Amino acid sequence: MGNKRKIKERREEKSLANREAYTRMNFLYQASQTVLMENPVNLELSRFYAFTMKSIGQKLLCKMDPSIKRTICKYCHSILVPGLTSTIRVKAKRERHLVVTCLDCGTLKRFNTCKNYQLWSEQQQAEMKQQPEGQYSGQEQKTQQNKNPGLKHRS
C-alpha cells in the first residue's frame, strides 16, 4: 500500500510540474502571437517569447502539439503568420505537399497533404486505444472515457 501511495504522489508531482510548464509555454505562445499581430515591428520580441517557450519545452521534456510546432520557424523562431512572416504554397512535384517559407530567414517547412497521411503522434494515440483496459489506472480510464465517449462501444 505504501509503495502505491508513493508512486501516486510522484505521478502527481510530475504532472503538477508539467502543468506549470505547459501553462507557461501557453502564455508565452499567446504573448508571442499577440505582440506580433499588434505591430509587426515587434518581431524580435515575438521571437524571444517563442524561443523561451521552445527552450522550456526542451528542458522539461514537454512536447508541443504539432499544430503549434508548425507555426514556429525552426531556424529563427519567428511565428509563421501567412502573409505577414511566411508564405504558403502548394507544390505538385513528387507527392503533393505544402511549402511554408519563413520570410525572415528563408527556411522552408514541407508538409505532406496526402489524404491518408497520419502524424506520428496520432499513430501513437491509436496504439494506446488498442491496449487492454487493465493497463490503465482508474483515473486515467475515467479521463479517457470522458474524452472519447465512443470508446466503450468500439471495444
Q: How many distinct helices (H) and strands (E) make up the chain?
A: 6, 3
Using CB under 5 A, which of the segments 29-37, 41-49, 53-61, 107-115 binds Zn ion? Answer: 107-115
Task: State which H helix or E strand residue 100 sits in.
Answer: strand 97-102
78's grid cell: 519567428
Region binding Zn ion by CB under 5 A among candidate stretches 20-28, 96-104, 125-133, 140-148:
96-104
Nearer to Zn ion, 16 or 108 (CB): 108
Nearer to Zn ion, 101 or 144 (CB): 101
Residue 37 within binding range of Zn ion, rule CB under 5 A: no
For the bound state, the minimum distance from the C-beta of residue 81 to Zn ion, rounded and expressed in Å, comes to 12
Judged by beta carbon, residue 60 or residue 76, the one nearer Zn ion is: 76
CB nearer to Zn ion: pick between 75 and 117: 75
Enumerate residues 6+ apart whose C-beta is below 8 A from 90: 96, 97, 98, 99, 113
The string of DSSP letters for 20-54 reads: HHHHHHHHHHHHHHHHHHH-GGGHHHHHHHHHHHH
Q: How far apart are CA 44 and CA 85, in angstroms?
A: 12
Among 16, 105, 126, 128, binds Zn ion (CB under 5 A): 105
Residue window 43-82: x/- pattern of binding to Zn ion, with contact defined by CB under 5 A: ------------------------------x-xx------
Q: From edge to edge, which strands make up the β-sheet containing 86-91?
A: 86-91, 97-102, 108-112
Q: Which three cell numbers stand for residue 150?
A: 465512443
Q: Is 99 in the site for Zn ion (CB under 5 A)?
A: no
Give contact residues for Zn ion (rule: CB under 5 A).
Answer: 73, 75-76, 102, 104-105, 107
